[in-house]
A and B are shown apart, each in its own frame.
Chain A
Amino acid sequence: GAGVSQSPSNKVTEKGKDVELRCDPISGHTALYWYRQSLGQGLEFLIYFQGNSAPDKSGLPSDRFSAERTGGSVSTLTIQRTQQEDSAVYLCASSLMPASGNTIYFGEGSWLTVV
């Protein structure tokens, strides 16, 4: 079946603009995760959804970042008033219910460049 799908694959935006990044998880996966990775850096956890609720928002770097998930499926990560330091690849992942031993599958990411 289809894997985790993310859009857009690439986005260039001007500083101060808002951006929305979309994630379509694997069908049937109830858990959804957002990470980001700056160039040459490791993966940074942002937020996790179980169904439509987000029990762990600890990784969101500032109040300019928000995320929602509707219908237990698609998720949107929104960055308001983008800054140059927001430039990174934003990775979405999904899994079956978050139980030990379940595999988490990643999408190919959305590359964001803030100019």
Chain B
Amino acid sequence: DAKTTQPNSMESNEEEPVHLPCNHSTISGTDYIHWYRQLPSQGPEYVIHGLTSNVNNRMASLAIAEDRKSSTLILHRATLRDAAVYYCTVNSGGSNYKLTFGKGTLLTVNP
């Protein structure tokens, strides 16, 4: 699976947008990009995923660069409940679907 690089930490203010970057320069053409987040003392939870096109869901938006070597998770209006570690991971899916997590980005949201 392709390796991902994320900033160790980021800070935001409540109700402002947050852009969390991820580099995955060795991604292959069939790899999907997934984002999970982990709130304190909880297991990770799925946020969003995509292949080539930008994606939106109720939690966030995923912007994928045209060359697919980077992506950005966008939280449109950060809340205190969005404070968590955000993980970006890429993998090929299929029947042997598995996630390889890095250290992720610790997002702090200030009131």
Chains A and B belong together in one complex: no
Q: Which residues of chain A have a CB within 8 Å of any CB of chain B?
A: none
